[in-house]
Amino acid sequence: MSDQVKISIQHLYKIFGDDPDWALEHVKAGVNKTDLLDQYGHVLGLQDINVDIDSGKITVIMGLSGSGKSTLIRHLNRLIEPTAGNITVNGENVLDYDEDNLRRLRREHMSMVFQKFGLLPHRTIAENAAMPLIVRGGKKQESLAEASKWLKRVGLEGNDNQNPHQLSGGMQQRVGIARSLTSNSDIMLMDEAFSALDPLIRTDMQDLLLDLQNELQKTIVFITHDLDEALKLADHLVILKDGYIVQQGEPQEILIRPNDPYIIDFISDINRARVLRVRSVMEYKREAIEGPIAGDVDEDTNLESVIAASEGNTELTYRVVRDGEQVGVIDMRMLMKALVPTGASEDGARGKY
């Protein structure tokens, strides 16, 4: 396992029912989720999940309701026990942990941000945010001071002594994030953390998370059913269906090279110009560019911005730069071609991942 991998999930299965080990044999023999329930009375939650989660990155796990994404994230801190497989964190198999080691994992190394906020109504905002340290036995005033620092960082300065019911939904979720940061854990698990928020507030929370991540470089596992949110946040995207991984990889790569009709359906309605970046469709080129250049564009600029700058002129060519240095070239015809959705790649297959 690479030093860069923080969490490694290997051949993970979860089956719900009276005799999951017996049902597992049928799954490995090829029985699908529907037939397992209809014929054998068991529910297939996860099927042969293999994911490496890199340190300091945001891994987004997405899928529709019933795909297994929330079941998966709850395996990482063993809120749910697997039927089979391994989960390693920092090179240690957490399935071998006794109660003391598991408690330490949850208190010190993994924090969790929930969709429903999970705030204690009879505690102040500062006390809620300080709870991880208080539970560990930290001194109250020191814990409150640390919580106050993170409340300020998430935009809640001056709200320490208020109660949860006095805050809006977006502000309450900021408390949840501050609580996670107060724990000083290196791994953050976020299960549909922004799904209950209004669209504008949700966008603000996504921006806040990206700002914090740029500064703190946490290892974040983020669960969502929203593709736009996934594409905005993910360094690595894992798409689930019926408990198995359909495709995983860098989000831009999945958009350009979907490997399954399910993925094609999933991405069919997105605004490709808004989510695709220049780096994903440019021609890599460091030598001098022949012919007229309309200007420079950063490799992370979305295609929509380049289209606006070109004012629809398909004859233009732009130099692509990273930190001011040329890394490639993109012309408008190349860009327009990238806006046409492609079919599933021939080498993509469910079993590949």
Query: Quick one: CATH architecture of 272-338?
Result: Alpha-Beta Complex (3.90)
Residue 350: pLDDT band (50, 70, 90) is: very low
Q: Note the pLDDT tens digit of each residue in 45-102.
A: 999 999 999 999 999 999 988 899 999 999 999 999 999 999 999 999 999 999 999 9
Report the predicted TM-score, pTM, of the whole model to 2 decimal places: 0.87
At 352 the pLDDT is: 37
CA distance 167 to 128: 13
Start and end residues for every CATH 3.40.50.300 domain found in the chain: 5-249
Query: In this model, does residue 36 exceed pLDDT 60?
Result: yes
Q: List all residues 6 or more positions away from 345 whose beta carbon is below 8 Å from its beta carbon.
A: 257, 258, 259
CA distance 152 to 160: 9
Mean pLDDT confidence for 197-209: 89
Start and end residues for every CATH 3.90.1280.20 domain found in the chain: 272-338
CA distance 255 to 233: 15
5-249 maps to which CATH number? 3.40.50.300
Q: Which two tokens stand for residue 142?
A: 């020191």
Mean pLDDT confidence for 159-187: 91
Mean pLDDT confidence for 256-279: 88
Query: In this model, does residue 143 exceed pLDDT 90?
Result: yes
Residue with tokens 């600029």, as numbered in its chain: 301
- Greatest mean pLDDT range, 59-63, 151-155, 191-195: 59-63
